[in-house]
Structure 1
């Protein structure tokens, strides 16, 4: 198992999975449309974000996005993990945790004092994030009126 920065070809491969990732990660709250995918991916990559990939024998197993933003409330720069995904055949093997550990190591090495991510209610990934030390900061609440 190797974790490294994605090549351009691998980045295209990751983007080709984006609709599935969006549907799964958002627990169906965000409609999977190409326009929405590009609205989310384009600024991330244009702003210096990149993907780390986990491969074995040149087979892509999973990836994590690594980038930065300015915290909306404090105006301080923070690292971000906008996406974490392990392809279904490779789940339950510790890949997600290893990808996150490497992303956190790189963000800390770049001088960030904090790292943020979003996780939708009901997403099982929240348990992994809590295990890695992430804590709830804000909760977005919604009441459907239709």
Structure 2
């Protein structure tokens, strides 16, 4: 497996799978249209975000979408992991950690002091994030009024 930055020819495959990536990341709560998911991803790409891919024999195994943001209180520049996705047939084979390590190393080289991400409660990837040193910093709560 190699990790590399996505090139334009990779985007069709990535964007076609992005609704499923969002669905999995929200634990089945949200299944956006391909158009909505594509527009969300393209907005991040236009702001300098990019995909790092795990690739084996020209097959995309998964990716991480990364970009920059700012802390809403302090305005501190932060690296942000917007999406981590491993295609179902390649899960459980150890691809997530190298992708996340590559992302955090990119941010370190760019001079960022902190990297953040968001995950739904119950997401199995939380264990991977914790293994890599991510810590819970905030809790988002919801009350269903229906």
TM-score tier after normalising by the smaller chain length: over 0.9
Query: Which structure 2 segments of 5+ residues have no match?
Result: none
Q: CA RMSD in A?
A: 1.2
* Equivalent residue number for residue 13 of structure 1: 13
Give the drift of 1:115.
0.4
* Equivalent residue number for residue 119 of structure 1: 119
Give the drift of 1:4.
0.7
Give the drift of 1:34.
3.4
User: The residue matched to 2:32 in structure 1 has which SS?
Assistant: coil
Does the aligned pair in 1 maintain the 2:15–2:34 contact within 8 Å?
A: no
Task: Confirm whether residue 68 of structure 1 aligns to residue 75 of structure 2.
Answer: no
Report how many aligned residue pairs link the two structures.
Answer: 146
User: The residue matched to 1:17 in structure 2 has which SS?
Assistant: helix
Does the aligned pair in 2 maintain the 1:11–1:51 contact within 8 Å?
A: no
Runs of 4+ in 1 over 3 A off after TM superposition: none
After TM superposition, the score normalised by the length of structure 2 is 0.94
User: The residue matched to 1:28 in structure 2 has which SS?
Assistant: coil
User: The residue matched to 2:82 in structure 1 has which SS?
Assistant: coil
Alignment of 1:35-50 (within 5 A): 35-50=35-50
Task: Confirm whether residue 54 of structure 1 aligns to residue 47 of structure 2.
Answer: no
After TM superposition, the score normalised by the length of structure 1 is 0.94
